[in-house]
Chains A and B, each alone.
Chain A
Amino acid sequence: MSSKSNRNRPLAAKAISPPSTPLSESDYAFTITRTAVAQICSSIGFTAAEAPVLGILTDIAVRYLRTIAKSAADSANSASRTQANLVDTIAAVDELSSVSGFPGAWRATGCFLNSGAVKKLDTFTEDSKEIPFAKPLPRKIFSVGSRKGMRNVGSNKIEYIGGEKKHIPTWLPVMPVIENHEKETVEKRRRELWGYCAKTEEPEREKKDEKKTDSGEKESKGLELPLKRGKVRFKIGGGGVLGVCRSGGIGKRVLCENWNFDDENSSKQEQL
């Protein structure tokens, strides 16, 4: 037995040796969780803990947390929502604490809001001593945009949390930055596509635009009518002289042909 253990000892020592590579984001989070778990253990009464055992307990804590999150997110998604609410979270907590049991767990169709698991949490917060984490953590480190190619929310996160862009979820990619020389690139593309034909049209369009603006100014001036207006004369028709004559009642205008009365009378006389 002793020879066996001796043979295996170097392997175990190799496994324990600390990694030389720098800590990644997940390692960093794991280390912080381990500190929190160690704090919880010391608050209960432990004076020391074996390092691998603490690692196992930390791993279980992380798994527990992620399982709650996944369960709540799943129930939110099944209700066609993206954001989890209180009911989802309580359902997830109920689901996980059903292993050890809680008062009122037998009610299969009970309302989630009066669940026994949450009441237990309430008593836990009242009874247990409040132990905050050893050090305040910077929030920026956990931003999504630490990796290359992802969005950099860290720099302007306030804008996305409560600012103008608060309606945009943080997991969406960043909008492209609109540059000033965009017009030039558009013109270049047009030249590539249509050659220089488009170039000749542009000045004409510009001229037309200028004319339009002038006429618009005139129209704006013409809206106010002058008090004295000049007489306007116009003729209608080519051969027969047509005009407007007044006959009969006042103000009535009747369209009639301007007969040559003398000629008509003379022709009548001849017939007679």
Chain B
Amino acid sequence: MNQSQGQQTSEGRHEDDAVLADFLASLMDYTPTIPDELVEHYLGKSGFQCPDVRLIRLVAVATQKFIADVATDALQHCKARQSTIVKDKRDKQQKDKRLTLTMDDLSKSLREYGVNVKHQDYFADSPSAGLDPASREE
């Protein structure tokens, strides 16, 4: 029994190794959105030394995935917010239905990853941010 279990575990390890080797080999053909030169620059600044391009791309892919995950969550928040708007207002916004990355959505999505981002209360994004809604319409 023990021997068969041991064989199974060793086979599983071989499979894992093969999967990892395939992944690393596929990284040679994959070009991440974050360029290699930029990643090298930041890695060098942090004291990471490695001549292997695959490891640099691994770090680039990890960062890209993290940003993509955060942005996907923010997009879901954005869509959910737009769907909950009252109907009469929605008609107005239908014209310019743009999915814009806003601070509210980003702070909500980043909270899940342990990053607390908050809008400063006095900070004005646009010139009409602090004005009353009535005067804004004018």
Contact of A40 with B33 in the complex, beta carbons under 8 Å: yes
A33-B34 contact given A60-B110, A66-B42, A114-B20, CB 8 Å threshold? yes
A9-B130 contact given A60-B110, A68-B59, A89-B59, CB 8 Å threshold? yes
Contact of A44 with B68 in the complex, beta carbons under 8 Å: yes
Contact of A5 with B67 in the complex, beta carbons under 8 Å: no
Contact of B99 with A50 in the complex, beta carbons under 8 Å: no
A120 at the interface (CB under 8 A from B): yes
Please, how many residues of chain A have a CB less than 8 angstroms from a CB on the other chain?
80
Q: How big is the B interface, by class? A: 35 or more
Contact of B113 with A100 in the complex, beta carbons under 8 Å: yes
Contact of A142 with B122 in the complex, beta carbons under 8 Å: no
Contact of B61 with A2 in the complex, beta carbons under 8 Å: no
Contact of A84 with B30 in the complex, beta carbons under 8 Å: no
Contact of A40 with B49 in the complex, beta carbons under 8 Å: no
Nearest CB in chain B to that of A90: its residue: B58
B92 at the interface (CB under 8 A from A): no
A193 at the interface (CB under 8 A from B): no
Residues facing A in B34-75 (CB within 8 A) are 34-35, 37-51, 55, 58-59, 61-72, 74-75
A93 at the interface (CB under 8 A from B): yes
A271 at the interface (CB under 8 A from B): no
Contact of B31 with A61 in the complex, beta carbons under 8 Å: no
Contact of A124 with B35 in the complex, beta carbons under 8 Å: no
- The residues of B that contact A83 with a CB separation of less than 8 Å are 49-51
Stretch at the interface among A129-137, A211-219, A252-260: A129-137
Cα A265 to Cα B67 in complex, Å, equals 126
Contact of B123 with A124 in the complex, beta carbons under 8 Å: no
- The residues of B that contact A93 with a CB separation of less than 8 Å are 58-59, 62
Cα A61 to Cα B115 in complex, Å, equals 12
Contact of A84 among B19, B48, B127 (CB under 8 A): B48
Contact of A32 with B55 in the complex, beta carbons under 8 Å: no
Chain A at the B interface: SS class = helix
A40-B68 contact given A8-B122, A65-B42, A84-B50, CB 8 Å threshold? yes
- The residues of B that contact A54 with a CB separation of less than 8 Å are 101
Nearest CB in chain B to that of A162: its residue: B51
Contact of B113 with A99 in the complex, beta carbons under 8 Å: yes
Instruction: Name, among A11, A72, A125, A169, the residue most crowded by chain B CB atoms within 10 Å (CB to CB).
Output: A125
- Per-residue B-contact encoding for A46-79, CB less than 8 Å = 1, 0 else: 1111101110110011101110111011000100
Nearest Cβ on chain B to A104's Cβ, whole angstroms = 10
Contact of A46 with B71 in the complex, beta carbons under 8 Å: yes
Nearest CB in chain B to that of A9: its residue: B124
Nearest Cβ on chain B to A105's Cβ, whole angstroms = 15
Nearest Cβ on chain A to B111's Cβ, whole angstroms = 11
Cα A49 to Cα B70 in complex, Å, equals 14
Nearest CB in chain B to that of A32: its residue: B38
Contact of B103 among A52, A70, A99, A137 (CB under 8 A): A52
Contact of B47 with A45 in the complex, beta carbons under 8 Å: no
Contact of B58 with A137 in the complex, beta carbons under 8 Å: no
Contact of B47 with A69 in the complex, beta carbons under 8 Å: yes
B129 at the interface (CB under 8 A from A): yes
Cα A137 to Cα B34 in complex, Å, equals 11
Contact of B71 with A48 in the complex, beta carbons under 8 Å: no
A sample of 21 cross-chain residue pairs with beta-carbon separation below 8 angstroms, ordered by A number, consists of A2-B130, A29-B42, A45-B99, A46-B74, A57-B67, A64-B62, A65-B43, A65-B59, A65-B63, A69-B46, A72-B59, A73-B49, A96-B66, A99-B113, A99-B114, A100-B69, A114-B17, A122-B19, A125-B61, A137-B38, A139-B37
Closest 3 CB pairs of A and B: A5-B130, A114-B16, A69-B46
